[in-house]
Amino acid sequence: MASITTHFFVTSAGLAENVLMCEIREKQIGAECAELGGFLEKPRPRVNGDMTQLHQQKQQLENMVQ
């Protein structure tokens, strides 16, 4: 009987630790999502700016080759 109780205690402690680890990871994921949310709020202007710059650089290189 003692071994069953001890086993249950160990299992309960392990489950509690797993639950705690899950809660910590959920908070980490939430923080990562919030961080990405700030980046993703206005991605289009940033992407358009990068594409414009790349297009200009490509044209400059093409002009140098000609």
- What rounded mean pLDDT belongs to the chain? 68
- Does 2 or 27 have the greater pLDDT score? 27
Bigger pLDDT: 39 vs 8: 39
Average pLDDT of span 8-14: 60
CA separation for the pair 8, 6 (Å, rounded) = 5
Q: How many domains does the chain have?
A: 1
pTM metric for this prediction: 0.41
**Residue whose pair of structure tokens reads 């003692």 in the numeric block:** 2
Task: Evaluate if residue 66 carries a pLDDT over 70.
Answer: no
Domain containing residue 21: 2-65
